[in-house]
Each structure stands twice: as C-alpha cells, then as structure tokens.
Amino acid sequence: MFSLVPASDFCRVPSSVSVVATDEMVEAARIPTCVMPHGSRLNPAGTRQYSACVMDDLMVEIDTGKFAVSRRFVLFTKS
C-alpha cells in the first residue's frame, strides 16, 4: 500500500509529491509536480490523486498506477 504526500518547499521552487510505501515507511518514488503542492485528494476509484499548486495557480492530477503527473489544470487566468 502507498500514500501520496505533497512535499512543499516554501522557497518558491518546484516541489514534488512523495510516494511512501506504508508497510516500510520509505519513500518509493518522488513525482515532480509544481511550486508548493498542497493538499491531497483521491478520486473514488483511487486511480487519480489531486493536489493544488499554491504558487502556480494549478492543480495537478497524478496517475496512481504510474506514479506520474497525468494532467495539469489551470485554475486562474491572469488578465
């Protein structure tokens, strides 16, 4: 079993989501995402994880089977 944990760097540099193997409590993978990923939600099937990107005005979607970002959503368009 795995847990996906956003790991924010508060220096405004790109960060990641860590994939933690919960049986051993070790980092199994690190997925580059965006600046300051925050929060973590799974879809009902557990196949996608979502984190908001505080400094990028994005939301990233992670494929939990591939441990990779599958999509990025723009949440705000600057005018």
Instruction: Give the residue with greater pLDDT, 55 vs 78.
Output: 55
Residue 45 has pLDDT above 80, yes or no: yes
- Residue 49's nearest CA partner among 31, 22, 35 is 31
pTM of the model: 0.86
**Vertex 18: Cα angle to 29 and 37 (nearest 5):** 140
And the tokens for 58?
Answer: 């994005």
Amino acid at residue number 46: G
Amino acid at residue number 68: A
For 26-50, the DSSP string reads EEEEEEEEEESEEEEEE-TTSSEEE
Mean per-residue pLDDT, 23-45: 94
Mean per-residue pLDDT, 51-67: 93
Q: Considering the chain, what is the average pLDDT of its residues?
A: 91
* Domains defined along the chain, listed by start: 2-74 (2.40.10)
